[in-house]
Amino acid sequence: PTFSTGKYFPVYISQDFLYPSLYNLYLVLIGDIIRADYIVSFQFIKINLLIKFSFYPILLQIILCGVAKCLIRGISSCEFKYGVYLFAIELAFDFGLLLFIVSISFNQMFLVLQPHNCFVYSNKIIQCIFTAFVWLCSITVMYAFKTPLCKRCVHEDGRLIDSCILDLFKDNIEVNNYGILTGFIIFIRKAVYWAYDVLPLCCVPLYAIAALALTCKRRSLSQSRRSDWKVMLHGLLIFVVYGIASLINYVLSLHAQDELTGLIAQFLIFLDVTTVLAIPLSVFLSVPALRTYPSTLVRRCTKGIDSRVFTIQ
């Protein structure tokens, strides 16, 4: 596609690289993460493991947003007849993911400073209002960024035409189609640009404050209260995964004028998807009870089968 700015080029991906090895690798990765999500969700609900972490409802919604984004990205890469607005739907889940990750940062800081007044978990009404607000923002973003000009398709010669670029909307594309809401749509788009640039940076001082507070309280912390460090580091891990991908994406965006090919193109296209998949995987690996749960489940099933066989004999 050709745009007025002249900065958007087709992305060329080698078919030998994309099909079938890397494509199958992503399918396996998505399958493993969905399985991990199931175990995480089941365990959190069953033993209330994250009550002491105080953000398990938010974490489950992060997983929901991530899986939905991956599924929509996969559908949008196919020539789907009614997929012209899929980018707006994907962006809605991605923006919700950003807001929930930032909320974890605030939640972790308040949980360390005021354990009994955690701003999300201390009040169920506040928690429901906050969650409803995030989803309302996501729906608003979806409405503001919908356009049929955003398309993704892979051609037989290896060309991946990806016009679903957030910078595309800097030209206020198709805002005239919104009538009296044009000014509001422009405001929402500028706010989204600002949010993606500023909100991740806001998380850095929040975790710094939490770490400083824990350092100052380290002498007064009992052995049981040292779990506060685990609380802070658990949320920090999610933010670090998201932050590293944002930094890589920024560095690659400096070469937006170049025509991307091969491995770099493949990496850039699937960077955000890989990040979303890595978030629940990092949670799964960072909680010991979740790491050992698959082997524990296998042992329980094996014992159950052995006991039934012994009873039959």
Within 114-226, residue ranges assigned H as helices are 124-144, 182-216
- Tell me the Ramachandran region of residue 48: left when phi exceeds 0, alpha when psi lies from -120 to 50, beta otherwise: left
Question: ω into residue 20 within 30 of 0, thus cis?
Answer: yes
Dihedral pair phi/psi, residue 256, rounded to 5°: -65, -20
Structural domains of the chain ordered from first start: 11-312 (1.20.1070.10)
Question: Which range is least confidently modeled, 4-18, 114-128, 251-265?
Answer: 4-18
pLDDT digits (tens, 9 = 90+) for 85-140: 777 888 888 888 888 878 777 777 777 776 665 555 556 677 777 788 888 988 88
Q: How far is CA 239 from CA 97, 199, 229, in A?
A: 11, 11, 15
From the list 281, 256, 257, the residue with the least C-alpha distance to 268 is 256
CB 86 within 8 A of CB 75: yes
pLDDT digits (tens, 9 = 90+) for 24-48: 555 555 565 555 555 555 555 454 4
pTM strictly above 0.75: no
